[in-house]
């Protein structure tokens, strides 16, 4: 089926950021979410693969559990076999033949409908799945699984409209046009555990532009990924446009990355995994039909640097919210802070006081500010960093972890006197903030340290009330962060407002949810039509004088 005939430049509905709901006591959204959470706790869906619109049950089954209650099974899911991956690639190619002939507005309509479903009937389900499966609080689930995913779907449509509207000039007697074709082959979309919205965005952005995707969701976010897939199907996504293939990432990647039809990679996750995928593409480069587009948003070691003029209450709050929300498991989480000696005692005491006030526990209890970290592997890794902090630095607050019923880690503040200490350099991906206190007269030197301490360049913030100091930080840290904040925490980017992505080891910086990203999924064809062709091959300069 290709698009229905339609003449007219269609005007898009107004596309704005989805308003964030408060979930305050007594609000209708709180009641709806609580009731969906209670029901979902009793459900245990058996999650299939979806290939060419068909549900596939392989019989090779794994269990998914709640991070904050790891004895509780939230779902079981079928793992892909090699033949399923091959079938998904074939199905993507078949679906693409028809899908790429649809008018873009008809593809867009599916994402706009998906956004509307998510904003209404699906809202409690997607939030509850993200809470139970990934241990997000109600608010963190709202800003991720609901608002950010709605924003990706709606605003990508607006950005695609702008891209399609960008047409070349034409001189007299001809008509020049740009045809933005979806990528040939399939896009391999590999998504991380920490944002349900990224799961929904990575396979659909290439689809909006006329391509098709093989989506390998994160095993640790399988529940919310499954509901995302079901929602897309309900919104009318045709069979094969997104194939849902959970399973062993190494086996699936080996098949997908060596296939001649690989059109692109849309990845978000850790730096090491992305680098290994890029290497595989390099090794296979002569086997592909096209050069695969490679887009990857990866790790971070995000900073806050304070000037002596910083507003102390704002700074302390940014450290706590930026460092500990979602247990520090945001790629943008503040994890290294640089504070001048003169204000350190007050900043430290405020942060410690807030940490003491933070409740960590089951996200079903809405008074908790933090849930659990994602799994045992993360718990062990973070516990290792805590042990290092106790041995080689000073733990000022928190510092303990408990994995008995859930993978809990206390919010932790550590101080070091060594600017090259490993907790200031490596991505921990947990609720651990390390502080380095500098002499007030070493502002310029400290900016250099911030810039050169880690291989990443994702997010960072400066706190200052002195405009000259802000200018200096701006200049010295120009390449240290793809998202730079002034007097704000380095987390919480909103689609359309703060396009997100970093450079250096943090990724290709194609800014998820922007025109820059969508352009990576289009291959431009330039069309020149001459109305009256030349009929004489001689040029005037060739005439005899």
> Which region among 37-45, 89-97, 136-144, 292-300 touches ligand NAD (by CB under 6 A)?
292-300
195 binds ligand NAD (CB under 6 A): yes
> Least distance to ligand NAD from the beta carbon of 403, Å?
18
- The secondary structure of 312-357, three-state, reads HHHHHHHHHHHHHHHHHCCCCCEEEEEEECCCHHHHHHHHHHHHHH
Q: Which of 297, 325, 410, 427 is catalytic?
A: 297
In this chain, which stretch among 3-11, 156-164, 262-270, 339-347 interacts with ligand NAD, using CB under 6 A? 262-270
Residues 6 or more apart whose CB falls under 8 angstroms from that of 256 comprise 85, 89, 186, 188, 214, 216, 262
Closer to ligand NAD by Cβ: residue 66 or 194: 194
Closest distance to ligand NAD from the beta carbon of 474 (Å)? 22
Q: Is 302 in the site for ligand NAD (CB under 6 A)?
A: no
Of the candidates 411, 413, 405, 400, the one whose C-alpha atom is nearest the C-alpha of residue 359 is 411
Only one of the segments 39-47, 101-109, 295-303, 319-327 lies at the binding site for ligand NAD (rule: CB under 6 A); that segment is 295-303
Contact 143, 326 (CB under 8 A): no
Q: Is 299 in the site for ligand NAD (CB under 6 A)?
A: yes
Q: Contacts with ligand NAD: how many residues (CB under 6 A)? A: 31
| Segment near ligand NAD (CB under 6 A); pick from 32-40, 62-70, 147-155, 502-510 | 502-510
| Helices 28-42, 123-134: inter-axial angle, 10-degree rounding | 60
Q: Please say whether the beta carbons of 237 and 209 come within 8 A.
A: no
* Backbone torsion region of residue 8, taken as left when φ is above 0, otherwise alpha when ψ lies between -120 and 50, otherwise beta: left
300 scored as a contact of ligand NAD (CB under 6 A): yes
Indicate the helix (H) or strand (E) that contains 244: strand 242-244
Length of the chain in terms of residues written: 545
State yes or no: is 46 an active-site residue. Answer: no
Contact between 269 and ligand NAD by CB under 6 A: the answer reads yes
Out of 18, 325, 331, 410, which one is annotated catalytic?
Answer: 331
**What is the DSSP secondary structure assignment for residue 495, as one 8-state letter?**
T
Cβ–Cβ < 8 Å for 295, 506: no
Partners of 46 in the beta sheet? 76
Is residue 197 a contact residue for ligand NAD (CB under 6 A)? Answer: no
Determine, following the binding rule CB under 6 A, whether residue 192 of this chain makes contact with ligand NAD.
yes
Task: Return the residue matching tokens 């609080």.
Answer: 137
Among 218, 228, 327, 491, binds ligand NAD (CB under 6 A): 218
Choose between 329 and 523: whose C-beta lies nearer to ligand NAD: 329
Any catalytic annotation for residue 297? yes
* All residues at 6 or more sequence positions from 30 whose CB lies less than 8 Å from its CB, including other chains: 23, 24, 138, 366
Half-sphere exposure for 267 (CA within 13 Å, toward CB): 25
Interface region with ligand NAD, contact rule CB under 6 A, candidates 150-158, 193-201, 363-371, 446-454 = 193-201
- Pairing type for strands 408-409 and 401-402 reads antiparallel
Tell me: does residue 268 bind ligand NAD (CB under 6 A): yes
Residue number closest to ligand NAD, CB atom: 269
Q: Which residue shows structure tokens 């940490």?
A: 355
Q: Build a one-symbol-per-residue string for 74-113: x at contacts with ligand NAD by CB under 6 A, - elsewhere.
A: ----------------------------------------
Question: Rule CB under 6 A: is residue 503 a binding residue for ligand NAD?
Answer: no
For position 196 contacting ligand NAD by CB under 6 A, the verdict is no
Residues 171 to 190: which contact ligand NAD by CB under 6 A?
190
Long-range contacts made by residues 384-388, C-beta under 8 angstroms, separation at least 24?
385/423, 385/426, 385/428, 385/430, 385/432, 386/412, 386/432, 388/422, 388/423
The span from the CA of 350 to the CA of 484, in Å, is 24
Binders of ligand NAD in range 415-444 (CB under 6 A): 427, 429
Tally of CB atoms within 10 A around 117? 19
Q: Does 282 sit near ligand NAD (CB under 6 A)? A: no
Q: Is 298 an interacting residue with respect to ligand NAD (CB under 6 A)?
A: yes
Residue from the set 273, 339, 373, 461 that interacts with ligand NAD by CB under 6 A: 273
74 vs 134, beta carbon nearer ligand NAD: 134
**Residues of the shown chain interacting with ligand NAD in the complex, contacts defined by CB under 6 A:** 190-195, 198, 216, 218-219, 249-250, 253, 268-270, 273, 276-277, 297-300, 331, 427, 429, 458, 500, 502, 506-507
Catalytic positions:
297, 331
């Amino acid at each position: 089926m290709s698009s229905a005939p339609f003449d007219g430049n269609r005007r898009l509905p107004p596309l704005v950021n989805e308003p964030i709901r408060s979930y305050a006591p007594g609000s209708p959204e709180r009641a709806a979410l609580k009731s969906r959470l209670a029901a979902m706790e009793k459900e245990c869906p058996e999650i299939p693969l979806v290939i060419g619109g068909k549900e596939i049950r392989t019989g090779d089954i794994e269990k998914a559990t709640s991070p904050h209650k790891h004895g509780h099974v939230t779902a079981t899911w079928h793992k892909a076999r090699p033949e399923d991956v091959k079938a998904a690639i074939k199905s993507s190619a078949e679906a693409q033949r028809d899908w790429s002939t649809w008018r873009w507005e008809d593809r867009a309509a599916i994402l706009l409908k998906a956004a509307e479903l998510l904003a209404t009937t699906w809202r409690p389900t997607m939030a509850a799945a993200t809470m139970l499966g990934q241990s997000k609080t109600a608010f963190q689930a709202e800003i991720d699984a609901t608002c950010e995913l709605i924003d990706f779907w709606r605003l990508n449509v607006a950005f695609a409209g702008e891209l399609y509207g960008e047409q070349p000039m034409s001189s007299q007697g001809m008509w020049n046009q740009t045809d933005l074709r979806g990528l040939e082959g399939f896009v391999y979309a590999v998504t991380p555990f920490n944002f349900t919205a990224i799961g929904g965005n990575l396979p659909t952005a290439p689809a909006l532009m006329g391509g098709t995707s093989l989506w390998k969701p994160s095993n640790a976010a399988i529940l919310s990924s499954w509901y995302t897939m079901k929602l897309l199907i309900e919104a009318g996504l045709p069979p094969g446009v997104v194939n849902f293939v959970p399973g062993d990432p190494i086996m699936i990647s080996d098949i997908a990355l060596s296939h001649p039809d690989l059109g692109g990679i849309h990845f978000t996750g850790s730096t090491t995994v992305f680098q290994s995928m890029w290497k595989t593409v390099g090794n296979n480069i002569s086997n592909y039909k096209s050069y695969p587009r490679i887009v990857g948003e990866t790790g971070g070691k995000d900073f806050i640097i304070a000037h002596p003029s910083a507003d102390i209450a704002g700074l302390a709050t940014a450290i706590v919210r930026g460092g500990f929300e979602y247990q520090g498991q945001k790629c943008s989480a503040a994890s290294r802070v640089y504070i001048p000696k003169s204000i350190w005692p007050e900043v430290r005491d405020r942060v410690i006081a807030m940490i003491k006030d933070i409740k960590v526990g089951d996200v079903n209890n809405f008074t908790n500010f933090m849930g659990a970290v994602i799994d045992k592997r993360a718990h062990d890794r973070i516990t290792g960093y805590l042990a290092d902090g106790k041995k080689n630095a000073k733990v000022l607050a928190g510092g303990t972890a408990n994995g008995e019923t859930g993978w809990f880690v206390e919010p932790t503040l550590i101080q070091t006197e060594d600017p090259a200490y490993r907790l200031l350099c490596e991505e921990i991906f947990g609720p651990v903030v390390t502080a380095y206190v500098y002499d007030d007269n070493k502002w310029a030197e400290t900016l250099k340290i911030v810039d050169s301490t880690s291989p990443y360049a994702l997010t960072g913030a400066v706190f200052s009330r002195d405009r000259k100091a802000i200018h200096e930080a701006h200049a010295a840290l120009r390449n240290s962060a793809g998202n730079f904040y002034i007097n704000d925490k380095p987390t919480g980017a909103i689609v359309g407002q703060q396009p997100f992505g970093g450079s250096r080891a943090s990724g290709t910086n194609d800014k998820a949810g922007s025109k820059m990203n969508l352009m990576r999924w289009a291959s431009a064809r330039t069309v020149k039509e001459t109305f009256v062709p030349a009929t004489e091959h001689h040029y005037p300069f060739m005439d005899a004088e």
